[in-house]
A and B are shown apart, each in its own frame.
Chain A
Amino acid sequence: MDRRHFLASAAGAIAAPALLRNARADEAPFRVKYFPVPDASRSRDVTPCSDGTTMWFNCQGNGKLGRLDPRDGSYRLTDLGPGSAPHGVIVGPDGAAWVTDGGQNAIVRVDNDHKVTVFKLPIKDYTNLNTGVFDKTGIYWFTGQSGYHGRLDPKSGDIAVFKSPGGHGSYGMTVTPQGDVWYASLAGSHIARVDLKTGNARMVEPVTPSQGARRVWSDSKGRIWVSEWNSGNVSMHDPASGSWRSWRLPGQRPRTYSVYVDDKDKVWLTDFGANAIVRFDPATEKFHAFPSDKPNANVRQMDGRPGQAWGGESGTNRLVMIETLQPPA
């Protein structure tokens, strides 16, 4: 069965129609669309496929990598291996999906024909793999929440694992346009820059103590945006000047889980306290909230392509896409 055939048949057999609703009147330039993926379990991290149309998404609860076609809502699940519990997914320079698989203690590559290759970590310790990025030279870097970060050379398959300074907590990871690799430490409440030659990491402390830096994402200027789980803030570190700024998300009890910076340098956050995706415009310093239409959405990560911000609702087994229809006034 070729891919086109599968998607055509899946559309009729599996997919429910995507739900469409408009955001509030003052957020008219945006359109929110939901894509149910009921055969996924705890759908979470997402990333655009290199085909320019479909979306990869991880199913942490049943060890699958999903691929959604937003044109008709159909999707396909690929089994990643025994004991798999995928967390992060990104697309590499080779066009394939690269998955941090905590359950297998392995990095898993899935190409666009859904062929699976498993790269087991060369250590016995349970690293609790979390997030990965590719640097400018094509080396894959990853974090493990048990206090590890590491690198994988896709050409040779060589893997090196390093103990992160400060112990447990290594979580989200990002690469800047300049090629620098940073990660956040949730338990360590810091961010760190990785020396790409030695693998050593240098910690940088945010201004808010015990803030719970969970995820990081670079903007086009190489500034590092940080989602702070404990404090409910979003913060921004400019490595060039060493400066920090931070903003508290709206609402009574914000819990800032994830951060994603789009191609226009707008900052997309997820707030578990408000059960919402929140867009922050650094130019105006204003927030726009997009509450889910279902309780306990629990969007744990976002990614996107120009004009589209995507997330996985791990609590509802849906993907959500917010389209920016025109630049906000």
Chain B
Amino acid sequence: MIAKAALAFLAVMLASSAAADDAALFTPCRACHSLDPSAKIMPGPNLAGLIGRKVAGDPAFDYSPVLQQARDEDRVWTLQALETFLADPEAMFPAMWMSAQGIRDVAERKALARFIANPVSR
């Protein structure tokens, strides 16, 4: 019984630690973006509810031409599209206004995409 409880506790702690790690990956993004739908105006678009949303889909944000074009082409953010974007943002949307390095590590990229996609992330 005690062993089962310890294992359960360990599982919870590991999950909590992993969530904290995923949240930490989003830290640099916070300089321009928020996942809180009620956040104030930021330098970049609000990312709440990103997955399933049209590219350049924050109505309060004025996007760069390449992202406006993607919106006009009815492109939509999926988890896979987000992972591709995070690998090399400029390759997906050349000359966009956002200036960011891609994330080389596949596991980190997937974890960050998961965190952004999770509706409870803030």
Contact = CB atoms under 8 A, between A and B. Distances in A.
Contacts of A60: 99, 101
Contacts of B40: 210
Contacts of B94: 296, 315
Contacts of A145: 28, 31
Which 10 pairs, one residue from A and one from B, show the smallest C-beta to C-beta distance? A296-B95, A315-B95, A145-B31, A210-B41, A168-B31, A85-B101, A186-B43, A168-B30, A187-B31, A128-B28
Interface string A169-192: 100000000000000001100000
B43 A44 contact: no
A187 B42 contact: yes
Interface string B17-58: 000000000011011100000001111000000000000000
Contact of A229 (B43, B64, B65, B66): B43
For the complex, would chain B's binding face be called helix, strand, loop or mixed by DSSP majority? loop
Given A60-B99, A187-B42, A255 B62 contact: yes
B41 A230 contact: yes
28 contacts: A42-B99, A44-B99, A60-B99, A60-B101, A85-B101, A102-B101, A128-B31, A145-B28, A146-B27, A146-B30, A168-B30, A168-B31, A186-B32, A187-B30, A187-B31, A187-B32, A187-B42, A187-B43, A210-B40, A212-B41, A212-B43, A229-B43, A230-B43, A273-B62, A295-B95, A298-B97, A314-B99, A315-B94
A298 B66 CA distance: 12
